[in-house]
Structure 1
């Protein structure tokens, strides 16, 4: 079967690359006149820790999303309008990550921390739902998937994405009371998605 999703994948790669690039815009160097010596520079960098935290969290979140996007489209060989729009929803949400990242960088160490962490977590809840939607639309018709994929492999991928949703919801709940715990849960989900992408790779070989 000839693969019909190459243009979708190429366009998606470009959007992921732009989304990652936008994140660095929230890392600022100090004005030249504001820094008199090395100690001043170190103090400035230390005070910028929320910006570095937000950048690291978002960069690796988008990177892992890109890895899983690549793996999921190794399974999808054909496309229809539903798949294209579901993928477009993922790209829309990924491109929007830079805004809550900027809010997190600026307000995490202030009184608005719970609000900005909640907004930051919400975007990943929606992204997870969009990934689940994409795979649901693709897997309900096996003719759209790679030849020879098994029902067990389809279920494995479905469960892989579905398991992340309640964890994101838990992170969202914590964001209103203990924001740092919410970010730690998101950090833990890096590990989950990074490891689970290997399950998708194994499913490709079944």
Structure 2
């Protein structure tokens, strides 16, 4: 589902057909698509990070808990919805409601991901080599999306068009959350990509 959602992100950007086929018109037409390209890149990174986190979490399980099926499906539904909210936001990148709608979609997806992670990473389903520190790190990292999307949501009321800037910072926030340990200074983390 993650791969399909990522593919649909680019399909939502339609090939332009300028009325006059001159170099200048083509450049203007492509320049008009810059918000769509930016929305694609942003959502590609978000969905990609969620996919990495999903893969990481399920890689920590020795067997599947049947009660995870529905929470997983609901998360995948939110991911499948991303191409629509991305296209809406990209097509109206300076307007309040589309920006808020996009941020709200990310908040919902992030909260659903947290719910799935918390339900999945528990005994007796964990592999023996999964430590409490590993679980805490994954849970901390999962906070980045809903926090940054919430900031984007609030900014969307006052600063539509630039409200997605916190989402651009999300990979750095994920790394920061992964390294942060309560009462200790941050330590280097080898795998510092994705949710």
- How far 1:180 sits from its partner (Å)? 3.5
Contact preservation (8 Å) 2:9, 2:83: yes
- How far 1:123 sits from its partner (Å)? 1.1
Map 1:66-85 to 2 at 5 A: 66-85=51-70
Map 1:1-20 to 2 at 5 A: 15-20=1-6
Structure 1 equivalent of residue 74 of structure 2: 89
Partner of 1:179, secondary structure, is coil
Aligned-pair RMSD on alpha carbons?
2.4
Q: Deviations over 1:178-205 (max 9, x none)?
A: 1244211011113334674995959xxx
Partner of 1:31, secondary structure, is coil
Structure 2 equivalent of residue 131 of structure 1: 113
TM (normalized to structure 1)?
A: 0.79
Contact preservation (8 Å) 2:62, 2:127: yes
Size of the aligned set, in residue pairs, is 183
Structure 1 equivalent of residue 182 of structure 2: none
Structure 2 equivalent of residue 114 of structure 1: 96
Structure 2 equivalent of residue 40 of structure 1: 25
1:178 and 2:137 correspond:
no
1:49 and 2:34 correspond:
yes
- How far 1:167 sits from its partner (Å)? 2.9
Structure 1 residues 168, 64: CA separation in 2 closer, same or farther (over 3 Å shift)? same
Q: Give the stretch that moved more between structures: 37-46 or 69-78.
A: 69-78
- How far 1:163 sits from its partner (Å)? 4.8
1:62 and 2:62 correspond:
no
Structure 1 residues 16, 158: CA separation in 2 closer, same or farther (over 3 Å shift)? same
Structure 1 equivalent of residue 173 of structure 2: 192
- How far 1:31 sits from its partner (Å)? 2.4
Gaps in structure 2 of 5+ consecutive residues: 180-187
Partner of 1:182, secondary structure, is coil
Alpha-carbon separation, structure 2, partners of 1:124 and 1:174: 14
Alpha-carbon separation, structure 2, partners of 1:28 and 1:122: 25
Structure with more helix by fraction:
1
